[in-house]
């Protein structure tokens, strides 16, 4: 078990170094990247199976006592999110390999190794049991994301990359300050000890810390009003990069928020979180309606969907947290798939602007199907995974009689469907465009891209198929978070 946990972090990092060494040889580099990610994903699935049957596993790094050293805690929440996250990166890597040979791909010599460093950071952020290591993991993710976002050096990328870097540096700085505050107030940064000590602190300090870390994680998660960096920067990056960012990065923010705020019993912040959640949902959905570019519409949806997860968290009930976790698991693959489809559209017709697209339902019906499934799922229509997730959030909201936020959630859902319709009409209906189409990928690459996307779509369908099991698991994970004693007991047996 310790080997599995270590492999999810060290595996991708080692693969990144080897891929960097052999970056000029395409086949060696791609083989290293794929095998590193495969090892990590397989280990993550192994962790899930172990934790599901055997309970939380704690790895003491370097054999230090948790009060002194770093602990990696594989509780059910981490074990549920980790395989989904790593599987997404693996699928995107397959897509990236086939897209590299076309004009739209990222520079593989840079993107390959950096994506692996990012993967390692994602694993560390999910598994870590102390706040400082979480900061380190965030930095690993961010530093690689800065390069991935801007490495092509196009004007739009560098300009929006500036906002991205400045916002994230600001939030990292706030994170460091927050760490100092936490250490000053509680004398530790270990989350298990914090879960014991923070609830006993005076109210002002306690809620102050909660609000501070809400801003820190909120910036990473792009909640209202800290979302401005997202819709500008995401669409400019190469498809594969955007797909990973949209599927994972904001979600790591919300993941950390769920872990921190439930473990530290920040339930007094509930109303504030719900208000922010409602505004985030509506702003995101309305923003999406106003856009005229496929990737920009999808970027605004990322923001809107974050609102739902925040709403589940803000309810501070087991049902709410369960729904937030389920939403997280559903959202990661669905969002990634949508961006991959966006990339396929761009590959086929040379642009992602709605006004210049059209007629794809006739010319490539497979693409239409690949888009329709995750789009309907994101909008929350049965029988797709989004329906189960949204139903969970809304039911939890009704239970707590949070009427206003439930109404906002329903309205945002309808607006999401509307903007999906907008994409559908613009891209798939109407006459095909007459402008020149960019260089198209070779048939073999096209097949690989379609099968990568298809696998991911199948993955989202699997989630709706096993929604019952996942709901039970999410409920157990949520209980493990809301009952902090379980977490503390696992770290300090």
Partner 1 sequence: MKTRLSPILEPAVQGVSPLALVMATYLLFAGHNGPGGGFAAGLVIGAVIALRRLADLPFPAVATPLIATGIIVIATVAAAPLLFGNPLLDQSVWKLELPLIGTVKSGSALPFDIGVTAIVVGLVMALLDSPIEASDEIPHVREENP
How far apart are alpha carbons 406 and 395 in whole angstroms?
Answer: 9
| Residue whose CB is less far from partner 1, 67 or 472 | 67
Taking alpha carbons only, the member of 368, 332, 246 closest to residue 295 is 246
Residue 453: CB minimum distance to partner 1, A: 21
Asked if residue 477 lies in contact with residue 255, where contact means CB atoms within 8 angstroms, the answer is: no
Residue 417: CB minimum distance to partner 1, A: 23
Q: CA-CA-CA-CA torsion for 101, 106, 108, 109, nearest 10 degrees?
A: 130
How far apart are alpha carbons 480 and 56 in whole angstroms?
Answer: 9
Residue 302: CB minimum distance to partner 1, A: 17
The SS3 call for residue 74 is strand
Query: What b-and-e string marks burial along 232-254, b requiring 16 or more CB atoms within 10 Å of the CB?
Result: bbbbbbbbbbbbbbbbbbbbbbb
| Residue whose CB is less far from partner 1, 72 or 80 | 72
| Residue whose CB is less far from partner 1, 354 or 406 | 354
First to last CA, the chain: 17
Residue 295: CB minimum distance to partner 1, A: 10
Q: By the criterion CB under 8 A, which residues form the site for partner 1?
A: 2-3, 5-6, 9-10, 13-14, 16-18, 20-21, 23, 59-63, 72, 103-104, 152-154, 156, 236, 291-293, 296, 350-351, 353, 438
| Residue whose CB is less far from partner 1, 251 or 296 | 296
| Residue whose CB is less far from partner 1, 351 or 451 | 351
**Beta partners for 60?**
71
| Residue whose CB is less far from partner 1, 296 or 446 | 296
Residue 385: CB minimum distance to partner 1, A: 31
Residue 383: CB minimum distance to partner 1, A: 35
| Residue whose CB is less far from partner 1, 17 or 170 | 17
Residue 243: CB minimum distance to partner 1, A: 17
In order of 108, 183, 406, 422, the CA distances from 383 in angstroms are 38, 47, 21, 22
Asked if residue 280 lies in contact with residue 303, where contact means CB atoms within 8 angstroms, the answer is: yes
Asked if residue 259 lies in contact with residue 271, where contact means CB atoms within 8 angstroms, the answer is: no
| Residue whose CB is less far from partner 1, 39 or 408 | 39
How far apart are alpha carbons 338 and 157 in whole angstroms?
Answer: 21
The count of other CB atoms within 10 Å of the CB of residue 67 is: 13
Residue 7: CB minimum distance to partner 1, A: 8
Q: CA-CA-CA-CA torsion for 133, 136, 138, 142, nearest 10 degrees?
A: -170
């Amino acid at each position: 078990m310790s080997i599995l946990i270590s492999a999810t972090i060290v595996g991708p990092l080692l693969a990144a170094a080897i891929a960097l060494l052999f970056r000029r040889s395409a086949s060696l580099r791609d083989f290293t990247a794929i095998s590193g990610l495969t090892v990590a994903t397989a280990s993550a699935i192994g962790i899930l199976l172990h934790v599901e049957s055997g309970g939380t596993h704690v790895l003491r790094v370097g054999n230090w006592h948790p009060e002194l050293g770093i602990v990696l805690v594989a509780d059910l929440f981490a074990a549920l999110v980790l395989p989904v996250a790593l599987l997404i990166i693996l699928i995107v890597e397959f897509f990236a390999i086939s897209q590299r040979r076309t004009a739209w791909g990222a520079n593989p010599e840079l993107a390959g190794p950096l994506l692996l460093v990012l993967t390692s950071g994602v694993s560390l952020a999910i598994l870590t049991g102390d706040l400082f290591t979480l900061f380190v993991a965030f930095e690993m993710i961010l530093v690689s994301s800065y390069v991935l976002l801007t490495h092509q050096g196009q004007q739009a990328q560098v300009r929006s990359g500036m906002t991205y870097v400045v916002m994230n540096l600001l939030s990292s700085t706030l994170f460091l300050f927050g760490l100092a505050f936490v250490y000053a107030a509680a004398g530790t940064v270990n989350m298990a000890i914090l879960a014991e000590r923070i609830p006993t602190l005076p109210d002002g300090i306690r809620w102050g810390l909660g609000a501070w870390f809400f801003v820190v994680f909120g910036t990473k998660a792009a909640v209202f009003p800290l979302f401005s960096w997202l819709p500008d920067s995401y669409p400019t990056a190469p498809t594969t990069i955007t797909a990973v960012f949209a599927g994972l990065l904001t979600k790591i923010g919300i993941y950390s928020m769920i872990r921190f705020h439930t473990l530290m019993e920040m339930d007094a912040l509930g109303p504030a979180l719900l208000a922010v959640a409602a505004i985030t949902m509506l702003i995101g959905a309305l923003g999406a309606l106003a856009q005229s570019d496929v990737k920009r519409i999808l970027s605004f949806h990322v923001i809107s969907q974050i609102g739902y997860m925040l709403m589940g968290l803000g309810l501070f009930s087991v049902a709410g947290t369960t729904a937030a976790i389920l939403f997280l698991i559903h959202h990661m693959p669905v969002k990634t798939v949508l961006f991959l489809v966006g990339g396929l559209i761009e590959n086929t017709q040379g642009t992602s602007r709605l006004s210049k697209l059209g007629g794809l339902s006739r010319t490539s019906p497979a693409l239409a199907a690949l888009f329709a499934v995750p789009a309907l799922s994101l909008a929350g229509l049965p029988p797709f995974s989004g329906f189960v997730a949204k139903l969970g959030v809304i039911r939890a909201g009704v239970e707590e009689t949070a009427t206003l936020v439930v109404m906002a959630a329903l309205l945002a859902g309808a607006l999401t469907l509307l903007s999906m319709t907008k994409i559908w009409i613009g891209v798939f209906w109407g006459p095909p465009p007459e402008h020149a189409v960019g260089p198209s990928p070779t048939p073999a690459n096209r097949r690989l891209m379609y099968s990568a996307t298809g696998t991911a779509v199948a993955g989202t369908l699997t989630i709706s198929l096993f929604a019952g099991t996942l709901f039970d698991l999410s409920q157990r994970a949520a209980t493990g978070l809301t009952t902090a004693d379980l977490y503390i007991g696992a770290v300090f047996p």
